[in-house]
């Protein structure tokens, strides 16, 4: 059962941007945040994993060596719990808009690719993490994603990366029928993707970002 923020208290919105590596999530999150601020909205832009203590441990593991899957999932959940309690819920309750670059859907995808059941991951997160008002899924062909992010560690790891990205892309596409989800083609240029994001925000939330 997902946690939906109480409409009697929650006056703001939670917008989540998801997609595989190379889709331009951070760029689109920044462009959306700037447009909404110009329209007079209070916007907090954030990302996961955060720069908090648990998020830092996750980021450090990219250098020191990847954690075992059980610890990795635990760190993501701990990091997200703090994020929800300290930033997401307070901002929504104050009437602000939170724009997130990655959320628990990414955990379902990337830790799911390591072998944990994505639905089990979802259940663990939705005990405490509020369901977004809007989920923007940026969809990109895996071949284009690999070109954009580059292959840094040789052919063997390229295969592993391709396999992981393919799993993650399919997971994100499986979410497209959620009532709060919008699937957007990210194979085009930044301007075209941004126009689609803005149109989706207006359609889903009735907000017209400043042009």
> Which domains are assigned to the chain?
13-205 (3.40.50.300)
pLDDT per residue as tens digits for the range 41-99: 999 999 999 999 999 999 999 888 889 999 999 999 999 999 999 999 999 999 999 99
Mean pLDDT across 24-44: 96
**Nearest partner of 59 among 68, 69, 48, 70, judged by Cα:** 48
pTM of the model: 0.90
Q: Could you tell me the CA-to-CA distances from 93 to 68, 85, 90, 130 in Å, in that order? A: 36, 11, 5, 12
Tens of pLDDT, residues 124-147 = 999 999 999 999 999 999 999 998
| Average pLDDT of the chain, as a whole number | 90
Distance CA 94, CA 11 (A): 7
Task: Round to whole Å and give the CA distance between 74 and 169.
Answer: 23
């Amino acid at each position: 059962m997902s946690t939906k923020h109480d409409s009697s208290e929650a006056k703001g919105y939670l917008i989540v941007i998801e997609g595989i590596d190379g889709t331009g999530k951070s760029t689109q999150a920044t462009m959306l945040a700037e447009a909404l601020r110009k329209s007079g909205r209070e916007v907090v832009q954030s990302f996961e994993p955060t720069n908090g203590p648990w998020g830092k441990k996750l980021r450090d593991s990219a250098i020191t060596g990847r954690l075992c899957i059980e610890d990795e999932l635990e760190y993501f959940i701990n990091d997200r719990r703090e994020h929800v309690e300290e930033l997401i819920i307070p901002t929504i309750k104050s009437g602000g808009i939170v724009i997130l670059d990655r959320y628990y859907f990414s955990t379902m995808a990337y830790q799911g690719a390591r072998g944990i059941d994505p639905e089990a991951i979802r259940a663990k997160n939705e005990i405490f993490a509020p369901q977004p008002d809007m989920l923007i899924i940026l969809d990109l062909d895996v071949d284009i994603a690999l070109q954009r992010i580059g292959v840094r560690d040789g052919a063997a790891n390229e295969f592993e990366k391709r396999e992981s990205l393919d799993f993650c892309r399919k997971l994100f596409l499986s979410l497209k029928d959620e009532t709060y989800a919008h699937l957007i083609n990210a194979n085009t240029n930044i301007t075209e993707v941004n126009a689609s994001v803005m149109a989706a925000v207006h359609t889903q939330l009735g907000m017209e970002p400043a042009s």
